Amino acid sequence: MSVNQFSFDFRARSFNFLQQYKFLELMNEFSSPLDQYFLHYENEQNYTIQKMLDDFPDLTKRNIFLEFSDLLDAEFYRQFNVPFFWHFHPNISLDSIVNTPLCRGIVFSYAYIYDLYESGNFFNFVKVFLGSVGEKVENKEIQLVLSVDWDADIFSSLFDFLPISLCSLTINNKVELNYRNPDILKISHELKHFQLYSD
């Protein structure tokens, strides 16, 4: 299993918060045109995001996507003229997001999906959701992403009914030697577990 998508967390309250200058240093040293990079924001001021884009004008050439996990209006995401992924929330109009031309994906929290499954509402949710965006998913205009923890026990029928394209895994204490020091061997071992879902 290859890993060629990397998400950088710019959410101010996140344990994985990364300062902009550190990100730019990493990109200048390690970025590859074969990889995709996601810049994750939540309730951020538009000028902060725009500053990142202005300071690094060749972002689009490096396969950069914005990623949002907030409840802002679709026009907020659209203003940057950069493709984006959006973390699903049931209180926001799905149509307003997916019909934004720059929307490239919807991210689902596994915790949310599992709650639907446990309450007996998962299959109805999938029917309604795919009834709304199924054509865009089938045409690969929009990807579905599952945000999941390393030790999650994923119920087997999930991938049969929801066409997930990517799994998003956060570097946390479950795969670290110590804070912000990833255990590469453990990550490699854990990724083999997710290989089962990509076959």
Picking from 65, 48, 18, 26, the residue whose alpha carbon sits closest to that of residue 170 is 18
pLDDT tens digit string along 120-129?
999 999 999 9
pLDDT tens digit string along 45-99?
999 999 998 887 565 566 899 999 999 999 999 999 999 999 999 999 999 999 9
Report the topology of domain 5-198.
TIM Barrel (3.20.20)
pLDDT tens digit string along 107-149?
999 999 999 999 999 999 999 999 999 999 999 999 999 999 9
Could you write out the three-class secondary structure of the chain?
A: CCCCEEEEECCCCCCCCCCHHHHHHHHHHHCCCCCEEEEEECCCCHHHHHHHHHHCCCHHHHCEEEEECCCCCHHHHHCCCCCEEEECCCCCCHHHHHCCCCEEEEEEEHHHHHHHHHCCCHHHHHHHHHHHHHHHHHCCCCEEEEECCCCCCCCCCHHHHCCCCEEECCCCHHHEEECCEECHHHHHHHHHHHHHHHC
Query: Contact 67/103 with Cβ under 8 angstroms?
Result: no
Residues in the chain: 199
Angle among Cα 142, 196, 156 to the nearest 5 degrees reads 75
**pLDDT band at residue 2 using 50, 70 and 90 as cut-offs:** low
Sorted by where each begins, the domain ranges of the chain are 5-198
Per residue in 132-144, is it b (16+ CB within 10 Å) or e — as a string?
ebeebbeeeebbb
